[in-house]
Every structure is written in structure tokens, then in C-alpha cells.
Structure 1
């Protein structure tokens, strides 16, 4: 499982890199055309906006896998391993329920946008709106995997289903990773 997740997270990283380079190229050309030709292509800002939305949703999912969203760690560090595992299980259940609702509603919303066309890019709006469904769907799946690991930790075992974070990214918001 850890190897498959590692490959998947690295693939997401490459997709994010391509989206970021696309945004950089489009915005550079936008600045050039705006100031040299006094013309702004109508699709450029839409493309960068949609790419940013996909970047955020994919990045949020990867951060959820590594349990690395910004959070308050004041009391968590004072908890014992079993209490921390129980707390993590409760948090995972809340995240699973929340992301399940958002992913489900996101499908309905994206399907409702099927008749709407982005005027600049002339694409169907389901493409950018499905980013919410994909992002929260991944958060749901990743929290299910983390839930298995937390249940194992509650009973004093480690499932080790998730790869090490430093194999995918080089930074962390968690204080224990700063040591």
C-alpha cells in the first residue's frame, strides 16, 4: 500500500508541476501581450484560475494523506499514544463524513454545470468544478487509509500503510517534523 501511495503522490506532484508551469507560462504571456500589444487574451485568466483550483485540491489531498494540514498541536503532544490514537480516529471519522458529503455534493454540482461554458476557454465548466469532487474524494480515501493505521495504533500496532512524507515533499507543518 505504501509503495502504491508513493507512486500516486509522485504522480500528483508531477501533475501539480505541470499545472504550475502552465500558470507561469500563461501569466508571463499575459503580461507580455498586455503591455506590448495592449491586448489580454480572454482565456488566460480563466486557465490560470482553473489550474490554481486543481493545484489546491490535489495539494490538499496529499496534505491530508500525510496528516499535515495546519492544525493546533498544543494538547496533542501532551496525550499518550492510545489517547492520541482515539483522538485521531474521531478526527478521521469527522473528515470522512465531511469529505464524503462534499464529494457527493460536488458531483451533483459539477453535473449541474454541464450546460455552462466558460466563455474565455470555451470549455465545459464540469472540468474545473470536478476538482472539488476529486480533491475531497481523495481526502476521503486517504482518511480511510489513515483510519486503519489509527485503529492499529489504538491496539499498540502500526500498519504503516502510508509512505514517509519526505519521500514526496520536503516541508511539513507538524512541529515534530521540525526536530
Structure 2
């Protein structure tokens, strides 16, 4: 029986985006990213369902549910804050790779790690501030749905904690494998 090397990509149902180095090497990282994707899909489905329910109740039943707009807005906030970690994990956030074509792989890695350090520090501060803000609003409820505002603002804590974690992982990969940072197709296209 033929064994695959540790860098070999395991089969996945989503062939549109190949697994990155961390996902290929660490099954727990692959599992974490899968959980993040499932949460994103569930929240997106919830958001769609709430908006459709709002349309149905307003225009078909002529008695709109007062809570659907509010809960849909908070579902969008949750979707945004819980998927920023996934975006950071895939390095799909907004970046300027102007210098990549002029720098060596090691210099590109140093630049990437420096930028990642700013992201980690900022995210860590946002985790702390988000926790403080959410706990200070624990007794305040939303007007229509009666949801504690701690649940609304508290989602920033796991969201930015995931950004911290994934950015640290990306920095370690950048240092150990600087060749993974070169995106020659994007550089050729001028991105």
C-alpha cells in the first residue's frame, strides 16, 4: 500500500480552493477550519431564513414580526465576526503585495510577519476590549427580541481570538516556509 507524504492534500469535497499548508499537515487545523465553515453556512442560512420570514410576514401576512429585522441584523454581525478568522486563516484579507516581486522569499516572510504582528496585537486588544464591553452590557437587552447585548457584542471575543490564532499560525508558516508566500500568478497579474 502506498503512503502519501505529510504535505499531500487529503481528498475534500471542495476542490475549488486547495488546502493550505497548515490544513494539509495538521488534521486538527483542518477540523477547526471545517467547524468555522459550518458555522458560517449555518449563520448565512439563518440570515436568509430571517429575511425571508420578514418579507413573508410583512407582505403576505400583513402583520410583520417586529423581531425579525433585529435578529437578522445581529445574525449578520455574528456572521461577519465569526468568519474573519476563516478569512485570516486563508490569508484572504486585504493586503498589499507590491514588494513581493522585488524581495527574496525570506525578506517577504519578514515583511509578512511584521504585518502579522500588528494584526495579532490589534486583535488581542479587540478581544480584551470586546470582553469588557460585552460584560458591561450584560444587563441590557435588545428592544424587540429581548436578547442580551452581551451575546451581540460578545461574539467579537471568539472572532478576534480566531484571527489572533490563525495569524500566529500563518506567521510560523511564513518563517518556516517562506516559499509559500510567493503568489507568482497574482504578481504576474499585477495584484
TM-score range for the pair, normalised by the shorter chain length: 0.7 to 0.9
Query: Which protein, 1 or 2, shows the higher relative CO under an 8 Å CA cutoff with sep ≥ 6?
Result: 1
1:4 and 2:22 aligned: no
Q: Structure 1: how far apart are the matches of 2:46 and 2:158?
A: 20
CA distance in 2, matches of 1:79, 1:139: 26
Larger mean CA deviation between 144-153 and 25-34 belongs to: 144-153
Report what 1:175 is aligned to: 186
Q: Deviations over 1:110-164 (max 9, x none)?
A: 101101101211111111111111111111111121222223246x8x8xxxxxx
Structure whose alpha-carbon radius of gyration is higher: 2
User: Aligned ranges for residues 61-72 of structure 1 at < 5 Å?
Assistant: 61-72=85-96
1:121 aligns to 2:145 (yes or no):
yes
1:25 matches 2:25: no
- Higher relative helix content: 1
C-alpha distance in 2 between matches for 1:22 and 1:134: 19
1:130 equivalent to 2:154? Answer yes
Task: Tell me the TM-score normalized by structure 2.
Answer: 0.77
Residue 45 of structure 1 aligns to a residue whose secondary structure is helix
Query: What is aligned with 1:36?
Result: 60
Computed over aligned residues only, the root mean square deviation of the Cα atoms, in angstroms, reads: 2.0
2:174 to 150, 161, 173: 150
Deviating above 3 A after TM superposition, structure 1's stretches of 4 or more consecutive aligned residues are none
Residues paired across the two proteins, number: 160
Residue 91 of structure 1: aligned partner = 115
TM superposition shift of 1:2? 2.5
How far the C-alpha of 1:175 sits from its partner, in A, is: 2.6
Alignment TM-score, normalising by the size of structure 1: 0.81
The whole-number CA distance in structure 2 between the counterparts of 1:128 and 1:28 is 22
| Per-residue Cα deviation, 1:77-136 (whole angstroms, up to 9, x for no partner) | 332101101101101111111101111100000101101101211111111111111111
